[in-house]
Amino acid sequence: MNFQNVDLDKQKKTSLDIYQSNTDRLLPGIVIIAGGSYKKFAERDSERVALTFATHAFQSFVVRYPVEELKNYQDAKVSIEQSFDYIVSHAKDLGVDTEKLGIIGFSAGGQLAAAYADKNDTKAKFAILGYPVTTQSLDKQMGVVTEDVTKLVTSKTPKTFIFGSINDQMTPFAENILPYVQALAKNNVKFELHEFSTGNHGISLANTYTRIVNKDRADKYFAKWFPLALDWLDAEGLLTK
């Protein structure tokens, strides 16, 4: 595997981590948007997720958007657009099948992922949202001004896989996932939803690999979201054959 980091905007400290697998064919691509409430990048949501997807024949990418003193929702959105533009324009060299290029976001990163997926000119062919923020309910807590992404959904929004936990008090189902799913349904966008009875907010892959960097938090049942997501991608024709 080749790893490189490409600057997007040095002044705003935004960049793209590239986890490129050696391959003799073009592979699906996954652009990862970590959570962390704009205070930091959650390691559980970034490189560990990238490497896990890489083991399933994906070219993986992590967007390092502005956080801490540089945090800004609009600038973060720009960094995601720049990342997709870079990947698409270098698709052959990166070994990416742009018809199987998608985005995954967790928590605050889920809001950013949804916002990009909802763009009329999005280059994402699918979206995966993990316990996403979808409204402005956490703006004050995160110290940023975001938007209600449920209002951005259109018939052009790509097929979407969403997962969360009924125990999540940070982004409760009724106030975050449900409104987004309703918007998808209203616009006839294909989606799959898994709201688990176990787990909680911010547990990423929920396995031992993320547990060791996530305050010992894991959940065997909640962890099923990943193989379920792979099954969904396979059913949609988005995996390597």
47 lies in some domain = yes
The number of domains in the chain is: 1
- One DSSP character per residue, 160-226 reads EEEEEETT-SSS-GGGTHHHHHHHHHHTT--EEEEEESS--TT-TT-SHHHHTTTTT---TTGGGHH
Residue 171 CB-density burial (10 A; 0-12 exposed, 13-18 middle, 19+ buried): buried
pLDDT bucket at 215, cuts 50 / 70 / 90 = confident
Is the distance from CB of 225 to CB of 127 less than 8 angstroms? no
* Predicted TM-score of the model (pTM): 0.97
241 lies in some domain = no
Question: In a 3-state reduction of DSSP, which class is residue 8?
Answer: strand
Paired strand residues for 192: 161
Polymer length in residues for the chain = 241
Angstrom distances, CA of residue 173 to CA of 132, 137, 179, 225: 9, 13, 9, 16
- For 91-115, how does the pLDDT look when each residue is reduced to its tens digit (9 = 90+)? 999 999 999 999 999 999 999 999 9
Mean pLDDT, residues 216-238 taken together = 96
CATH number at residue 198: 3.40.50.1820
> Which among 82, 30, 34, 73 has a CA at the least distance from the CA of 55?
30
- For 173-187, how does the pLDDT look when each residue is reduced to its tens digit (9 = 90+)? 999 999 999 999 999
Query: Could you list the residue range(s) of the whole structural domain that residue 113 is in?
Result: 2-235
78 lies in some domain = yes
240 lies in some domain = no
pLDDT value of residue 40: 86
58 lies in some domain = yes
